Structure 1
C-alpha cells in the first residue's frame, strides 16, 4: 500500500504518516521518491531495522520541516547515524521528535546537532544512552530552540543549565526534563527565576512554580 501511495502521489505529497508492525525497511525506499515532503511521521514500525536510513540524507528530503520518529525499537545507534550523517544538512527542519527511540546516544546527538542547525522544537524520550556530553551539545549548539523535551534520560546532571539563558538557549520557552532524575531541582528553580516567560517540568513531572 505504501508503494501504491507513493507511486501515485509522489509529485506533490507533502505530509505522510505511516505506522504498523507490518512495515519494513522497504517502505523507506518508496517514500524516498517523495521529494516534496515537508512532514514525515514514522511510528510503531517494529520491523524496521534502519539499514537504509541513509536514504533520507541523500538530498531526497531536502524540504523536510518536521520529522517524527517514534517507537522504532529495532533501530540501532549506527542506523540513526546513517540518517543524521555529517554529509547531510536538513536546513529547513525545525521540529524533530524521537520518541521511545532507545538507541539514540551521544554520538547520534552530536550528528543531529550538526545536521539540523535550525531546530526550534526538539523532543527525545527514553534515550538511555544520552549523557551530559550529548545534552551539552544540544544546549550549546541549538541556539534557536524554543521547545525542548528530554525525558527518561537517567545519566544527565544538567549543570550546563546554570549558563542558560545568559550564554545558551536564549530563546527557550519550554523545558521538559521529566524522569531525568539526576538533575537537581535547584538548577531548574534557579533557571526559572532567571528566565522570563519559561515553563519548566522537573524530573518528577511537576511544573516549576515559585
Structure 2
C-alpha cells in the first residue's frame, strides 16, 4: 500500500526586529547604492534602508528633488554639494530647516560662500564636525570668522586652493559691497583660538611656523602645492606632530628619497600620504613607506619619478595598503609593478593611468596577485588592447579605461569575470563596438553607470537596448550624436535611468 505525502510550502518566520534587519543589511552590503534593490522588496525594507542611508551627493540635476530627499532620508549625516553650481545660500537655508543632525558638509568648488547662509546653517547644525570649502573663488578672512563663530564643534576644515581674486562686487563674498582681502594669518589665528576641537585643517598658504606655534591638536595635515618653505620647515612641523594619520605634501619638488627616509621616522601613525607631483621621488620612496609605515593604507605617488631605478630583490610585504595612485609615471615598468603588487597583495584601489611602460604582462600579474581589487583605472593605455583576468577576480566594481585601446574581447572578459561591476568608463575607446558593450551589459547585473562618449564605433541604437535590458542602470553617457527625443527621455526615466545627450 502506497500513500502520497503532499509537501507543504515551508513557512519561514522573518518577523525580525528592525535592529536585526539593519545588522543583516550592513553585513551583506558595503555601500548605500546597494540598498535600492532591497527597498523594492517591501515597504518594511524601504523604511529600513531609508534609515540606513547616511550620505547623499547632490548635483544640479538632483537639486529639484532635494526637499523630498531630505524628508525621506532623515538619518543623513554627510551631504556633498561639490558638484552643485546653483544658489548655495538657499540650499544652506533649506538644510538648516531640515532638522537633520549633520556631521559633515562639502560645499567645495563654489564661486562664493554667503555669510548669512553659513550663519543660519551653524545656528541649526551645532554638531557639524567636518566642513569642506576647497576651491572657493572668493574665500576671505571674514568667512573664517563666521565659520569659527557658527560651528563650535568643528574638527575638520578644508579651505585649500582659494583663488583670492581681488574684485569688488555689490553681492561680494562678504555681503557688504567691499572686498576684505584673501585668507591671512589673522583668519587662521581666529580658527585656532575659537575651535578647540580642530584636529585637521587644509591650507594652501605659507603658515608652517604659525601651525607649529599654535599647538593645534592636529592628526591630519594637507599642504598640497604650497610654496615658500623648505625641507627644514617641513621637518620642524612633522617633528612636532608625531600622531598625524594623513599627510598631503603634493607638489613639493624639492623632496628627495633621502628626505622621505628621514621624515618616515615620524610616520608611525600614518594611514594616508599624498606625494603626487614630487618629481624627484623614485621607487626608493615607495619601498621606504611600505617598510616603515605599518598602518599605511593609502599611497599617492602620481606624476613622480617611479620606475627610474631598479627594484630591490628583498622587500617587506605590507598587507595594510589598500589604495595606490601611481598614475602618469611613464617610466614605470612591468618589473616595478610586479614588485609593488607583491608588496601590497590586499589592494582594492589601483590607478595606473598613463603608465605606458606597463604591458599586458604587467596587468595579468596584477589580476593574479590582487584578488581584492574593486576600483581600477587604466586610462590612456592606447597600446593595450586585450588582457587575461584570473578567474578568482570577481570583486571589481569600477573600471575606468578612458582613451584606452581595449577591444571587444577585453570587454567580454571583464563582463565574464567581473559580475559585480557597477561603474564602467569607456570614453574615447575607439576599438570598442556594440558587441563588447552588450557582453558587459548582459553579464554585469549590477551595472549602474556606463560612459560611451567618443566611442565612435558604438552604434547609438544600443542605448535603448541597454536601458530595457539592464534595469540596474542609472546613468548612461551615450556615444556622440545621440540626441534623445522627449518621449525617449520619459521612457528612460520611467526605468530609473538618466541618459545624457551625446
Q: What's the TM-score bracket when you normalise by the shorter of the two chains?
A: 0.7 to 0.9
Q: TM-score, normalised by structure 2?
A: 0.36
**Alignment partner for residue 372 of structure 2, among 137, 144, 149?**
144
CA shift at 1:106, angstroms? 0.5
Q: Is the 8 A contact 2:395 2:418 kept in 1?
A: no
Aligned structure 1 segments of 4 or more residues deviating by more than 6 angstroms? none
Q: Is the 8 A contact 2:393 2:417 kept in 1?
A: no
- Corresponding residue number in structure 1 for 2:52: none
2:248 counterpart of 1:4:
no
- Corresponding residue number in structure 2 for 1:168: 392
The aligned runs of 1:1-210 (5 Å cut-off) are 1-10=233-242, 12-25=243-256, 26-33=258-265, 34-46=267-279, 48-50=280-282, 52-53=284-285, 54-57=287-290, 59-72=291-304, 74-78=305-309, 81=311, 86-161=314-389, 167-181=391-405, 183-188=406-411, 191-192=414-415, 195-198=418-421, 199-202=423-426, 204=428, 207=451, 210=466
Q: Is the 8 A contact 2:363 2:387 kept in 1?
A: no
Cα deviations across residues 45-85 of structure 1 (Å, max 9, x unaligned)? 22x1437524324x31111001111121x444326x35xx6
Which stretches in structure 1 are left out of the alignment for 5+ residues? none
Which stretches in structure 2 are left out of the alignment for 5+ residues? 1-232, 430-449, 453-462, 467-502
Between the aligned partners of 2:451 and 2:283, the Cα distance in structure 1 is: 40
Between the aligned partners of 1:28 and 1:149, the Cα distance in structure 2 is: 27
CA shift at 1:119, angstroms? 0.5
* TM-align CA RMSD: 2.5
Q: Is the 8 A contact 1:49 1:76 kept in 2?
A: no
Q: TM-score, normalised by structure 1?
A: 0.82
Task: Tell me which protein shows more strand as a share of its residues.
Answer: 1
CA shift at 1:142, angstroms? 0.9
Cα deviations across residues 97-122 of structure 1 (Å, max 9, x unaligned)? 11211111101111112100101111
Between the aligned partners of 2:366 and 2:284, the Cα distance in structure 1 is: 26
Task: Tell me which protein shows more helix as a share of its residues.
Answer: 2
